[in-house]
Amino acid sequence: MRLRLRRPRQLARDLLAAARRDHEEVADYLETHGEEWEALAEAAPGDAADVLEQLTEEDAAGLLAELEPEDVADILEQISPELAAELIEDVPLEDLTAAVSEMTGEAAADLLFELDDDVTESVLAMLDDKSESEIRRLLEYPSDTAGGLMTTEIAALPIGLTAGEAIERIRQLHDEYEDLSYVYVVDDGSKLTGVIYFRDLVFARPGASLDEVMVPEPVSVEAMSDREEVAELAQRYHLFGIPVVDEAGVLLGVVTTDAVIEAVQDEATEDFAAAVGAGVGETVYTDVTKSFRSRAPWLVLNLGLALLVAYVIENQTSIISTEPVLAALMPIVATLGGNGGNQSLAVMIRSLASDDVPRAQVTSILARQAGVGLLNGLLLAVAASGLTYVLVDSGVFQSISTPTEVAFVVGLACLANLFIATLAGSAIPLILRRLGLDPALASSILLTMITDLVGFGGFLLVAAALL
């Protein structure tokens, strides 16, 4: 492999393209071109992280071992904690500890949370007392809470300062903190009392006190608040960060913009996973046994529901034996209902996630979705019955009944199944919310049961009555 010496970002693009073809060749190249790898890691840690993600754990560990701890820390902060834990599996404990000590508190806590308990404890024991205390405190909060998302590196000023003194103090804080989007004001007990906007501070009289300049009682969340609440507040008030307080109002940290974006993404993917019965916190790097425990109960439930559908079909075998073509037509009705129901389900879960479904509007929303189901049902009933008539009449499908009779049964079943499926797709998440459960929780599995029961059982009942 030959690459011309280029700027780090261009080098990263070339390496990524090559790694997708042959990751071993890229690993060999970087091992023999240490200066280029070190320059890339220092200048563009995000790009270096993208390259590492294409390599094996062993190769990644070897390349990380060649870097300074601060560069390793910058790279690990750019990788998802689950994948980072996989990549550093072969990194010596001393090197891992050195890197963790250079990471921000929340990033270090996220990474250590993914490691085995004995490794985590070993790393914590080797850190200085301040870092260990901060990380242990962050590890107490679940990853899907404000406390699990927050950073403790937060700029805060005492309320007794004047505007002039505050400006001078902020100049000093600039060297200590990377993110100064907001500066918060606390009282003598470290309780959050206000937030400062730089524009107001710059145009204030130098002798004005902070309580005249600050915005009192800023939007905040408690440490155990769900990330969904954090994301909702950030979007509603267009905030770049949300302060986190304890039950007494003491300022603990802040959820930054990056963490808010991550929370929105995680919440969306969690809803998708929950809808199909997968573990809400599961990723492709989740331990096998943990994934098994989260998925298996829903698959067992799915088996039970499938047996229920099979029981309904078994009780209608007489009509199938009389008119065998029904066995070929049944899946058409069930499939159309399943697709229509899942469309409605996706729209409802999305709307619930963005808090766009007030309880007072539930009835009108369901009526609107029922109308959609009815129109789609009518359209597909006409299309399905017409095609069925042509296929039966032409002899492609062999039938004892007349083409008109079979086409009418298919059309009526399609209309009923699409109407019921669309309504069910909207209603299931609302019912789960009313019961205090996650609206997305296994909703797809429940919907499949309804569409299959109506699609197979309903279809055969209509056929038995009309043929």
Digitized pLDDT (tens) for each residue of the chain, 467 residues in all: 544 445 777 777 888 888 788 888 888 888 888 888 888 888 889 888 888 888 888 888 888 888 999 999 999 998 888 888 888 877 888 989 999 999 988 889 989 988 888 999 999 999 998 889 989 989 999 888 899 889 888 888 998 899 889 888 888 877 776 666 788 999 999 999 999 888 888 888 888 888 888 999 999 999 999 888 888 888 888 888 899 999 999 999 999 877 877 766 666 666 666 555 555 566 666 677 777 777 788 778 878 878 888 887 888 778 888 888 888 888 888 889 889 998 998 888 878 866 778 888 888 889 999 999 999 999 999 999 999 999 888 888 887 888 898 899 999 999 999 999 999 999 998 998 888 877 777 788 888 888 888 888 888 888 888 87
Based on its alpha-carbon atoms, the radius of gyration of the chain, rounded to whole angstroms, reads 30
pLDDT of residue 283: 64
* Residue 286: exposure state from Cβ atoms within 10 A (0-12, 13-18, ≥19): middle
156-275 CATH, one of 3.40.50.300, 3.60.15.10, 3.10.580.10, 3.30.70.1170 = 3.10.580.10
C-alpha to C-alpha distance for 358 and 376, rounded to whole angstroms: 26
CA-closest candidate to residue 179, choices 154, 150, 197 = 154
Contact between residue 291 and residue 282 where contact means Cβ atoms under 8 Å apart = yes
> Residue 215: what are its φ and ψ, rounded to 5°?
-95, 115
DSSP state of 185: E
pLDDT of residue 236: 86
Q: Which amino acid is at 463?
A: A
pTM above 0.75, yes or no: no
Contact between residue 341 and residue 444 where contact means Cβ atoms under 8 Å apart = no
Largest CA distance in the chain: 96
pLDDT of residue 4: 47
Q: Which residues neighbour 178 within 8 Å (Cβ) at sequence distance 6 or greater? A: 153
Please tell me the CATH code under which domain 288-466 is placed. 1.10.357.20
Alpha carbons within 13 angstroms on the beta-carbon side of residue 160 total: 4
pLDDT of residue 186: 94
* Model confidence pLDDT, tens digit, residues 114-150: 888 899 999 999 999 888 998 998 999 988 889 988 9
Tokens at 80, concatenated: 């998802």
Domain boundaries, the chain: 8-140, 156-275, 288-466
> Do the domains 8-140 and 156-275 sit in the same CATH topology, yes or no?
no
Total residues found in the chain within this entry: 467
Q: What's the CATH superfamily of 8-140?
A: MgtE N-terminal domain-like (1.25.60.10)
